[in-house]
Amino acid sequence: MAGARLRNEDPEWLQQLACAPARYPDGADRPGPVVFDAENRPIADRAGWERRRGELRARWLSRLGEIRTPEPPPAYDVLEEDETDGGAIRRRLIRYEAEAGLPVEGYLLRPSGDESDRRPGVVVFHSTTDETIRQPAGLEGPADKHIGVQMARLGYVAFCPRNFLWQYGRPGELAAAVDWLRRRHPGVTGMAKMLHDARRAVDLLASLAGVDATRIGAIGHSLGAKEVLYLAAFDERVKAAVASEGGIGIGYSNWDAPWYLGDQVTRPGFGLDHAQLLALVAPRAFLLIGGDSADGARSWPYVEAVRPVWDLYGRREAIGLLNHGQGHEYPEEAQRTAERWMKWFLEEAVFAGE
């Protein structure tokens, strides 16, 4: 399907994100076909895929482990408040509970003005840094990683929650948080905890006055990209997602680390791959960004493996890949493409898959 054309009305920049190379690079994974049932029979329609989707979802959750999520959205307290971007963005440090009795902090950024205006909301996940939520909130770190500020500049409400590895661990000692998790939730993987907390972040964001709960996005770089992938796969409220340099192949990054999936992914018989997980996102919008480090040219086989799922919904344009070729970075080209992607799928395009 390399170079396949999208609908004529899709803009050129969007069509370019579907143009796979004629040849995959050496060392690229070759994930198996996704649009087949458990008996390896081709799936020809949406009903067949929805059945298969349910099976894959259940298999993944059995591997991850699951934390029970309370129904009501979490309440929060405002700890600090200021403005940035010359007063154009209001920034609040808030505290809430992702689990009962467990406080978590995050930054909430929204354009200044009437907070009753209904805007898209975007959950922004920070990368592996001791700056944690101060990075996407624009308080520390390089400007290219101030992704929460970038989303607020688009006119969105951005929520930047702290990853549990820093909330319940210690800087430089991620294993301490893993030990804490194993005591609290035996048999639950680090990715399951991240997924649970990410869904609670969506709960909070979608409950805010002025946020349009039908237009929720998710974006992150590196560690944050991993969280985006799992959140988009398991939470259908996320309508547009951007994952930068997370490593779509299980062997492309440190997915076997104890704070992610653990060593089960290296054992014979694991039987799952991230093409299957990525397919759970369809038909919602998912953009993979790479720089030929964790992701890039070698990630194309995953996008091509799952594109037939999007085809079943007539949403071929809603899965794409940008390879900027600049390593494990989030450069200007990636930022502008991510912003276009969010605006297109949260504001401009009619989402026909609902």
pLDDT at 320: 98
The two structure tokens encoding residue 95? 């505290």
Q: Which range among 41-50, 149-158, 343-352 shows the weakest confidence by mean pLDDT?
A: 343-352
206-235 pLDDT tens trace: 999 999 999 999 999 999 999 999 999 999
pLDDT at 1 over 60: no
| Assessment of whether the complete model's pTM goes beyond 0.85 | yes
CA dist., res. 354 & res. 309, Å (int): 15
Q: Which range among 62-66, 164-168, 186-190, 325-329 shows the weakest confidence by mean pLDDT?
A: 164-168
State the DSSP H helix or E strand holding residue 309, giving kind and residue range, or none if neither.
helix 300-312
Residues recorded for the chain: 354
User: pLDDT above 70 covers what percent of the chain?
Assistant: 96
286-295 pLDDT tens trace: 999 999 999 9
pLDDT at 8 over 70: no
Domains for the chain: give ranges and CATH numbers.
13-348 (3.40.50.1820)
Q: Is the peptide bond before 11 cis (omega within 30 degrees of 0)?
A: no
Tokens 């390896």 — which residue? 40
CA dist., res. 228 & res. 221, Å (int): 9
pLDDT at 334: 98
pLDDT at 69: 78
> 123 pLDDT band (50/70/90 cuts)?
very high
pLDDT at 3: 36
- Sheet-wide strand order for 157-161: 76-84, 89-99, 102-111, 157-161, 119-125, 211-221, 238-244, 285-290, 319-323
